[in-house]
């Protein structure tokens, strides 16, 4: 039986000191210029001291024209590197490793942040009453696809230059690479559409380009949905086959999660669009366990892990890493406690809002408020209910939107 404190050696890059990962959360803490500033540096020093073997950052955008939220960090060819060097140093300050998650949101860009959004096909986002917040996307041309592959490679190389130990390519949760994988969103009839091999082509090209740019001393992970939880969407059989394709391109680790903006499975039980009920802990474990037996790559499971016993159960089920997210927004010291044998746990709140979309947003808003407090050097305890936290987040977002638009105009 593999213990939580056992190191993990991947095919490329530095070994991980234990089996607990701080999984990516959207921190929404970018400093002016879409850069990592003192708040992110403070937050990651706290997580580093908490004992996780690996920290994966919230998603960093590869293209400043396309951000999911106005306070997302952006890393492009000409971005100043010094703030990212300080970020990497903060994440490694206690001896662990830090990977940068890199992403393109595709069609998941609100109207107030961009006039044009990209997607594999002109399929609009369907999230009920708030669907109008997102524009109908423009199908990507071959030139735009090639440019996107290059941007992923550039951002990965710059992360390496800044001192990060690896990158995680985000191909889950309904963002661009996930959109290409989805038969519901990808309705193309060219070399990027139709068969699973064609729908996976963009992801595989990105992984190949990143590996060529960063060499063999740098880890390359991929975040992949075990399922989209939408009828007719990307499913566990597709995930099984894509994992095998990723192994051929030099990927080191696949993190399994689930859901998208149209089926917010990461919010926990009761949120899937296809009617499936998720467990209250380790949401995706039962579905993802099917992939362990066939995977040629180490797998990490993320979603709903809040207790040491659950993290150990994930490892005992054959996963190489247990990814912990929201629980570390409540108590950043959990990994250290678990490794010492403590049964410390957290109890995230839930929203009573009737709209599933608003309820998921409210739960996320509480987490974002907790992260802001931790980044300010305070405790994570927030005085806000989920509904009030959502309102506060909307007010904060309005200010950050003005800053982002000002930055884009100057750029």
Which tokens belong to 353?
């809002």
Most confident of 43-47, 260-264, 280-284, 352-356: 43-47
Q: How confident is the model at residue 33 (pLDDT cuts 50, 70, 90)?
A: very high
131-141: average pLDDT: 94
* β-bridge pairing 97-103 and 60-61: parallel
- Is pLDDT above 60 for 88? yes
- Is pLDDT above 90 for 71? yes
- Return the pLDDT at 276: 42
Which tens digit of pLDDT belongs to each residue from 186-245? 999 999 999 999 999 999 999 999 999 999 999 999 999 886 666 767 888 999 999 999
Mean of the per-residue pLDDT values of the chain: 91
Rounded to whole angstroms, what are the CA distances from 68 to 174, 208, 266, 351? 11, 25, 17, 23
* CATH level 3 topology of 20-349: TIM Barrel (3.20.20)
- Return the pLDDT at 263: 61
Q: How confident is the model at residue 348 (pLDDT cuts 50, 70, 90)?
A: confident
Q: In terms of pLDDT, which residue wins out, 284 or 398?
A: 398
139-155: average pLDDT: 98
State the Cα–Cα distance between residues 334 and 51, nearest whole angstrom: 8
- Is pLDDT above 90 for 67? yes
State the Cα–Cα distance between residues 290 and 313, nearest whole angstrom: 15
- Return the pLDDT at 150: 98
- Return the pLDDT at 274: 40
Residue 308 has phi, psi (to 5 degrees) of: -60, -40
Contact at 8 Å (CB) between 284 and 258? yes
Which tens digit of pLDDT belongs to each residue from 258-304? 766 666 544 454 444 444 433 556 657 777 788 999 999 999 999 88
- Return the pLDDT at 266: 47
- Return the pLDDT at 362: 86
Q: Residue 120 has what DSSP assignment?
A: S
- Is pLDDT above 90 for 51? yes
Share of the chain above pLDDT 70, in %: 92
């Amino acid at each position: 039986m593999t213990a939580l404190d056992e190191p993990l050696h991947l095919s490329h890059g530095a070994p991980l000191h234990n089996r607990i990962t701080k999984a990516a959360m959207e921190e929404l803490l970018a400093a002016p210029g879409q850069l990592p500033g003192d708040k992110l540096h403070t937050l990651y020093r706290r997580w580093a001291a908490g004992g996780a073997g690996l920290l994966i950052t919230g998603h960093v955008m590869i293209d400043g024209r396309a951000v999911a939220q106005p306070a997302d960090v952006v890393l492009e060819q000409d971005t100043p590197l010094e703030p990212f060097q300080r970020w990497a140093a903060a994440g490694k300050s206690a001896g662990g490793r830090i990977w940068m998650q890199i992403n393109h949101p595709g069609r998941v860009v609100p109207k107030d942040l961009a006039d044009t959004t990209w997607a594999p096909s002109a399929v609009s986002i369907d999230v009920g009453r708030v669907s109008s917040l997102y524009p109908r996307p423009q199908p990507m041309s071959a030139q735009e696809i090639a440019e996107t592959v290059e941007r992923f490679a550039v951002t990965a190389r710059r992360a390496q230059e800044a001192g990060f130990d690896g990158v995680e390519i985000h191909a889950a949760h309904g963002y661009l690479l996930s959109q290409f994988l989805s038969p519901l969103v990808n309705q193309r009839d060219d070399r990027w559409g139709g068969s699973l091999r064609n729908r996976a082509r963009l992801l595989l090209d990105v992984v190949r380009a990143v590996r060529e740019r960063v060499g063999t001393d740098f880890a390359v992970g991929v975040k992949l949905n075990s399922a989209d939880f939408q009828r007719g969407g990307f499913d566990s059989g597709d995930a099984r086959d894509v994992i095998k394709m990723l192994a051929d391109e030099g990927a080191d680790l696949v993190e399994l999660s689930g859901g998208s903006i149209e089926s917010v499975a990461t919010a926990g039980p009761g949120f899937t669009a296809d009617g499936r009920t998720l467990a209250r802990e380790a949401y995706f474990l039962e579905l993802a366990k099917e992939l362990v037996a066939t995977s040629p790559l180490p797998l990490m499971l993320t979603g709903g892990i809040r207790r040491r016993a659950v993290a150990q159960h994930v490892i005992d089920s054959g996963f190489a890493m247990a990814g912990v997210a929201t629980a570390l927004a409540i108590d950043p010291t959990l990994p250290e406690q678990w490794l010492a044998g403590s049964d410390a746990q957290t109890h995230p709140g839930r929203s009573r809002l009737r709209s599933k979309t608003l309820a998921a947003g409210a739960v996320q808003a509480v987490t974002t408020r907790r992260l802001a407090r931790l980044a300010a050097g305070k405790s994570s305890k927030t005085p806000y209910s989920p509904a009030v936290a959502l309102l506060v987040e909307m007010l904060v977002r309005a200010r950050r939107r003005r800053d982002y638009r000002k930055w884009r105009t100057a750029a």
